[in-house]
Structure 1
Amino acid sequence: MWTGLVVFVGIMATSVDAMKTPSILCIIHTSKGSHKTRLAVILDTWAKKCDDVLVFTDAPLEYDVPHVYFPMMNTRDHSWEKIRRVFRFAFEDMEKKYDWYLRADDDAYVLVDNARTLVKEHDPEKPAVLGYRWGFFEPRGYVDGGVYIVSRAGMKVFNDIMKNDTICPDFHRAEEDQEISRCLAKVGVYPVDTRDKLGRERFHHFHIDEFKSKYLVEFIKQNSFYGYKKFPEAISDTTVSFHHLTPYEMKVMDYLLNQLERKRGKLDASVLTSGRSIFSFLS
């Protein structure tokens, strides 16, 4: 049963060239406490490069941005229930159709141009899900929930199968990434290998500073689908996303990748991998 209040406010203006392909709808997961902090920074930085933006949250937004909200599902534990409803709304109820649907947490920074380049290698008419690939829970792994991208055909498949409670049941759980991967795997859709030609990851679940943790390194070694690479060798210079960032770090990253690009020539994601941390040079 589809429950919860759903509200949609008109499509956000975009700075992306209308002729640019493939098209991407960015779907951002946030909550009321982050509307004026994390979400505000995202909308002022990387989200401007999306073709359109849809926010899903637990309360009405204080400004005119397209959003759906679920006041009765206001904790992380409702993530699986919410993403089902949001993806149904984005694919079935929104008039405009997109080639790709990019879902991101509100503490993620997405290099949308790199995402667009990556998806050009794939056919949106074939079911696909792209992101960081974990090697547990499902025999062929699951796609990490920090940032992942679903093709138009993949969205159709997911919207079809989640109407079947036997294949894709609706229940109360936080780990939406594991559940969507499990549902898609039942119909033969598995996470795509998104590493570059050197085997470096393009989607990054952890903050760079988190790699200092020996526990985390062991966790990655045991659970990553493709194994562990040391920092900075693990970071592709065609990286699509970073995760667990503060709003300040997002602003700094956006400045490095966009303002300096115009002033000093084109930069790629490798500029963020020098030194002890991508932000250590500021301290």
Structure 2
Amino acid sequence: MLTALRMRENGGQDNQVTNEPLATQLEREVRVACFVLTTPKYHKSRAVHIQRTWGKRCNKIYFMTSQPDDELETIILTKPDQYEVLWGKTKESFTYLYEHKRHEFDWFMKADDDTYVFVENLRHMLYPYSPDEPIYFGFNYKLFNVEAKNASYMSGGSGYVLSREALRLFVHGLNDSSKCRPEDDSAEDVEAGACLFKTNVTAGDSRDDKLRNRFYPMMPYSSLMSKYNGMDFWFFKYAYYNPRACMDCLSDYPVAFHYVEPRELYSFNYLSYMFDLFGRQPTVEHLPARIPLGQVIIPPSDNR
């Protein structure tokens, strides 16, 4: 089962949800604002397909770009549409959300226009944590450009999600050049991770209770088939937690994948929300226990 809440779409009409009270509760209690970094070049070939699939399951989704589009909820950025200034676009995006939307949502999810997010699973993962906890989640890579020996940052490709308090600390930290890079160049995810680390935001552990990844910066087959990339692939060296590669190494409730083509967005959507197997027994699902504020424990790296 790919989603924490089993849903089936009924011919484009309102969703029929088999566990409707739980789904409604999560959508109300874990309010997620998603934003996608994109450009006018990809509005029609990528962004609109996100809007039609996983994007509509966020409490709200915004497309950060340089031009408006009549099919998308766009936020117009001042930074140029260049990959080299992705860090600048990310800073401007989070700043906008903090200044205009911070009271409306609990969590703020950044994604690329080739990311697929299982929003129900994201809410399920976030449920135990208070949005007042300075924490963020994603796929952890080793962070080398800070003084700490045991630090991580989150892959930009599969996205990362900040709590409301993490957003506040991050945006305030952008005004301090000793904490956050003021220039717009450099690797977006590395700079975001260093900035968040220096502003005392915890890099959370998004793995499930069986230590399987829920965020994955590639497509599923890269993890399920160890020989696809080979175990000497750079990814396995830089992952903060041992990523492993085997047929049961991915979580039952994955949150996000990267490098997802538009046609694959619809495949993921079908297999998650419309597909079912005759005779399969329904799963009884429960919400995890809440973690008291200030009592989050993050395990150290196990990938040496």
Q: Distance in 2 between matches of 1:204 and 1:267?
A: 26
Deviation at 1:17, TM superposition (A): 5.0
- 1:162-173 residue pairs with structure 2 within 5 A? 162-173=174-185
Identical-residue share of aligned pairs (%): 25
**Secondary structure of the equivalent of 2:275?**
helix
Instruction: Provide the residue aligned with 2:191 in structure 1.
Output: 179
Counterpart selection for 1:84 from 91, 99, 104: 91
Larger helix percent: 1
Counterpart residue type for residue 236 of structure 1: S
**Secondary structure of the equivalent of 1:137?**
coil
Over 3 Å counting, the alpha-carbon distance change for 1:98 and 1:264 in structure 2 is: farther
Q: Distance in 1 between matches of 2:186 and 2:281?
A: 39
Q: Distance in 2 between matches of 1:51 and 1:266?
A: 30
Deviation at 1:267, TM superposition (A): 8.8
**Secondary structure of the equivalent of 1:83?**
helix
Q: Distance in 2 between matches of 1:174 and 1:38?
A: 24
Larger relative contact order, structure 1 or 2 (CA cutoff 8 Å, min sep 6): 2
2:181–2:191: 8 Å Cα contact kept in structure 1? no
Structure 1: 4+ residue segments shifted above 4 A: 14-19, 261-268
Unaligned runs of 5+ residues in structure 1 are: 1-13, 269-283
Counterpart residue type for residue 133 of structure 1: N
Counterpart residue type for residue 118 of structure 1: M
**Secondary structure of the equivalent of 2:35?**
strand
Root-mean-square deviation (Å): 2.5
Deviation at 1:159, TM superposition (A): 1.1
Deviation at 1:71, TM superposition (A): 5.9
Q: Distance in 2 between matches of 1:229 and 1:267?
A: 29
| 1:38 is the counterpart of 2:61 | no
Q: Distance in 1 between matches of 2:117 and 2:280?
A: 20
Over 3 Å counting, the alpha-carbon distance change for 1:42 and 1:242 in structure 2 is: same
Counterpart residue type for residue 170 of structure 2: F
Instruction: Provide the residue aligned with 2:139 in structure 1.
Output: 132
Q: Distance in 2 between matches of 1:262 and 1:51?
A: 29
Instruction: Provide the residue aligned with 2:164 in structure 1.
Output: 152
**Secondary structure of the equivalent of 1:82?**
helix
Over 3 Å counting, the alpha-carbon distance change for 1:95 and 1:208 in structure 2 is: closer
Counterpart residue type for residue 240 of structure 1: V
Q: How many residues align?
A: 253
Deviation at 1:228, TM superposition (A): 3.2
| 1:65 is the counterpart of 2:76 | no
Instruction: Provide the residue aligned with 2:6 in structure 1.
Output: none
